[in-house]
Amino acid sequence: MAIALLFQAIPEALVLQVGELDTAKKVWDAIRMRHIGAERVKEARLQTLMAEFDRLKMKDSENINDFVGKLSEISSKSHALGEEIEESKLVKMFLKSLPRRKFIHIVASLEQVLDLKNTSFEDIVGRLKAYEERVQEEEESQEDQSKLMYSNTEQQTNRDYHEEYKGSRGRGGRFNRGRGCGRGGRDTSRIMCFRCDKMGHYASTCSDRLLKLHEAQEHDKDSTQDADELMLNEVVYLNKEKVMPSKYEYNGEDNMWYLDNGACNHMTGDCRYFKRIDKEITGKVKFGDDSHIDIKGKGSIEFVDQNGETRTMCDVYYIPDLRSNIISLGQATEAGCDIRLKGECLTMHDQAGKLLVKATRSRNRLYKVGWG
């Protein structure tokens, strides 16, 4: 009877394999050994799937829908293999895998405003899709405007050239250059540069273009150095369009740091803070007020948190001409910190939940903290 019940419960193909066994125990042992092998295969597939999940990164050429499709596919396969990926883990992995250059600001904002442990995956995806569409519309609009301004500038340049050429011929020859001819005598107050979209100058005299030419000349000059020396140096160029140095108050206070969501990197102008610094890392940083300042190194600093413990903050740029000390909230969240805003108070905890920073919003809507 036991053998008959076993044969009724298993597939016909398996019945043919174990049909020659004469006792129920032998049949049961044969079935069990086959299923142990299947479990091991399933476990191996699950480990491979989880490794693929941990390595997954969204490419710059992908959009949110394509990347979410990959995450959903891995989640479905994992569920079919008996392993359920928690929604909070799926949300954190999704935010972590987004391209930093394009989504760092919205990701930092969501991590500060929302409780990711209780936020659904669909809600996060919807917010990121709305942000992506808004950015895409803005980029397309700027691109169309840039093309239009470039076309208009070319047409105006051609007209200027023909007028100058005709005028020079009328004054006695093609090589005669009268005063006031060409761009030198024109009113540029209503001219928009198609390179930087600012009024008052042509693209040929744009400060951004001149800066890049200067950087290219410096690079060409440095290229004559020995190959070994070039291998040791690292040159970086940072663009901080949302950082305005003038908004940070400077009243001579030591150990005062500003916590900024617009900055993408930690920065300080005081070399005394550094425990370790690599001065081979150089470059330039451009701020939102069009100022350009030299980078003279990068390293780590030590500070004392709210609990009196000594901590280390890594990847801090040394910019001697910067009068303020800036902590990037986005970079802090990448390091695993939990940053929350409630009322006029900002708190930062480490991965273990220990309080690192507690700051109160000042009158100019900045958060600052004194670190010894």
Which of 204-218, 239-253, 257-271, 276-290 has the lowest average pLDDT? 204-218
The percentage of residues in the chain with a pLDDT greater than 70, rounded to a whole number, is 70
Tokens of 309: 């413990």
User: Which residues neighbour 45 within 8 Å (Cβ) at sequence distance 6 or greater?
Assistant: 81
Task: Please give the pLDDT value at position 23.
Answer: 92
Average predicted confidence (pLDDT) for the chain: 76
In angstroms, what CA-CA distances link 273 with 52, 270, 302, 309, 318? Answer: 40, 6, 7, 16, 10
Burial state string for 173-207 with b = 16 or more CB within 10 A and e = fewer than 16 = eeeeeeeebeeeeeeeeebbbbbeeeeebbbeebe
Confidence check: pLDDT of 141 > 70: no
Mean pLDDT for 297-313 is 83
Task: For 13-36, write each residue's pLDDT tens digit.
Answer: 888 888 888 899 998 888 877 766
The percentage of residues in the chain with a pLDDT greater than 90, rounded to a whole number, is 2
DSSP structural state of residue 311: E
3-class DSSP state of 48 = helix
With cut-offs at 50, 70 and 90, classify the pLDDT of residue 336. Answer: confident
Mean pLDDT for 82-104 is 87
Tokens of 46: 């699950």
Mean pLDDT for 171-183 is 43
Confidence check: pLDDT of 344 > 50: yes
Confidence check: pLDDT of 182 > 70: no
Which of 15-19, 127-131, 189-193 has the lowest average pLDDT? 189-193
- DSSP notation for 141-153: HHHHHHHHHHHHH
3-class DSSP state of 370 = strand
Domain parsing of the chain, residue ranges: 2-134, 236-370
Which of 83-97, 226-240, 279-293, 346-360 has the lowest average pLDDT? 226-240
Element of type H or E holding 139: helix 121-170
Angstrom distance (rounded) from CA 191 to CA 165: 22
Nearest to 328, CA basis, from 246, 257, 244, 272? 257
Burial state string for 32-45 with b = 16 or more CB within 10 A and e = fewer than 16 = eeeeeeeeeeeeee
Nearest to 332, CA basis, from 309, 344, 316, 308? 316
With cut-offs at 50, 70 and 90, classify the pLDDT of residue 299. Answer: very high
User: Which residues neighbour 229 within 8 Å (Cβ) at sequence distance 6 or greater?
Assistant: none
Mean pLDDT for 40-56 is 84
Top CATH class of 236-370 equals mainly beta
Angstrom distance (rounded) from CA 182 to CA 189: 16
Instruction: Evaluate the CA torsion angle 289, 290, 292, 297 in order and state its sign.
Output: positive
